[in-house]
Structure 1
Amino acid sequence: MKAGLLQAPNVMELRDVPDPKREPGDLIVKVRAATVCGTDIRIFRGRKTAGVRYPSVIGHEFAGEIVEADAEGPFRVGQRVCIDPAIPCGACAYCKLGHENICQNLTAIGYEIDGAFAEYVRVPARALATGNVHEIPENLAFEEAALAEPFACVINGQEKVAVGPGDSVVILGAGPIGLLHVKLARFSGASLVIVSEPSASRREAALIAGADFTVDPTSEDLRAIVLDQTRGLGADVAIVAIGVPALADMALHLVRRRGRVSLFAGFSIGESAPLDINLIHYSELILTGAFGLSRIHFERALDLLARKRIDVAPFVTHRYGLPSIAEALATAERGSAIKVAIVND
């Protein structure tokens, strides 16, 4: 089969590789849509290495059609499925506490297991046993189903800062993740959503997604605007949805006393930033990270997408075939797209 083979940092080539070999209990899935995540770009550039192998196939947001399965198994050939790529061990201290997204033995498709930037992907039997495989409802396109994974991560992130009815929320960054945060905050009852984003096209996308106001941080005073819109108090919640370290401290200055700040975005290896620790202390701020997703987050995300409570179809603005994977990654990295999908007929 054809696959985008990550040979080393900055080196990905379309190659002929052996078809995935199915063991008892496994599925072989023909990838119909795989969307490009910002984390894929960081892996490609060598700025994220945990779980990454060379050579390997990356890509963890995907959906497709089963082409090989056990005759007596829970899934059948021809079924449309999407897969939660993060497979917890279920036995470590964190899994026992219910925090499987930070499982000590977490394995994931697109990391330790070859991923979806390929014609076919092997879904290991363990992923079936843990409930990571989901049938796609007929009303949901493959591209939309592929976005259940990043949307599940967003659900996890907003759960950590308890976005709810009446909240004022500031979101820093209006890439695909930032736009998902806009939609979920609005769905969760936020009364005010402000988005900071330097790109004019992405600011427009944020307004379409449901933001009340957008701010160009290169030419406008974001903090002044937030204070003006919140009666001088600051927002209830600030979410850093793009991996720019300096935004962490900025977010602290955008929230009210006892406000909640989510460092949702991943940052590159070795990056750090100063934080106003006195502000955290004296204003009793809640500062948290958010990593990945759990299986319940994936189920909730897929359900909201299937019921059309959250519409992600407009997010996929660029599509490429697998032979154009280099161009797909370059487009995603430039930020000229909202979401890039690699599609296979």
Structure 2
Amino acid sequence: MYKTIFISFLLLSCTEVKDTDYDIYISNLSIMEHKSQSIAIASSININRVLQNSDFIIIADFRELKLYLISNDGEILDSTGREGNGPGEFLAINSIRFTDKNNEILILDSKLNRLTHYEITNNMLELKDESEIQSYQSQLFLKDIYHFNDTYYGLFKSNINIEPDAEYEKLMLYSLDENLTFKNLLLEYKYDELIEMKIRGNDYFVEHPFGFNTEWIFDKSQFIISNSKELKFTYYNLKSGEFNTYEFNGVPVINNDEGILEFLEQHYGEILSFNPNIKQDLKTRSQLPYFIKFSLYNEKIVILLSNYDTKSKELVVLNTDNNTIHIINVPVDYFMHGISDDIIYGVIKDRVYNLDQIYSIFL
């Protein structure tokens, strides 16, 4: 393993200026001062999900169903997990996240209907406990789970009340009791955009891979959710039950054009050919998603912008206190996974050496 340190300074963006209102707007934003670090990971480890704080990095390998505990210098400290249904084993890793404590993680395995709780102590991943999750209603699918202040919160995808021509499915946030059964419905929100697809001669609605996606985060006492059609973020306080909405109206929409479809055909041709309706939709739709993912850093919302070229990629930092906006330039193959302890962490794909890298931005 190796690591590389980069330093960026506050200056005007030097990205190539294009002729759309959106690209001109982004190119004229100030770059936020930061440092970054890249750590190459052995090719035998598949980096599907990353958690990082100031003390360590956790990698979830979905293919091997393993967890790795890694120092911030890149040293593998511990590993655990394998395929199976015994203690500390998995059939799927659907979600992994910190609890409200930075040395504890929760892993959701929907195939085993099990929630696994690990604690990181003395540079080791220690199995703390496992909880069986009930089989919920057939119309509900548990997407994510979080533990805060002695309460579990479950985020479910629902296809209830989905009409044949529906554009979206629905997300529902519940508080759960000690048996992980429903307690209170706290919030409803639209899920990813749907598109029609023919499967074995029948028409179904499936998630649109290039449509408006819904992303969410749990951050301490807050649950925050947004759909990429607009820069509007709904906050729900898990402690007080209060709602707040932050909307940033200053960024022009990403308008569709022929060059975007050409880019998607070149890089994602297999996906487009899998469902002809996707290509047809991309020929006719006017607006494309603002972002791929977002996270929270103090009073700032950090979003990974959608990009449709191989020249540049940016994080946008929205300050909800004063409505200012900055950008952080990142490698074009970078994908943000989250923020913790003033660290924006994610993964880049090294196309030369075919190695995944942990890419961390220190604010």
- TM-score over 0.5 for the pair: no
TM interval, shorter chain, is: under 0.3
**TM-score, normalization by structure 1:** 0.26
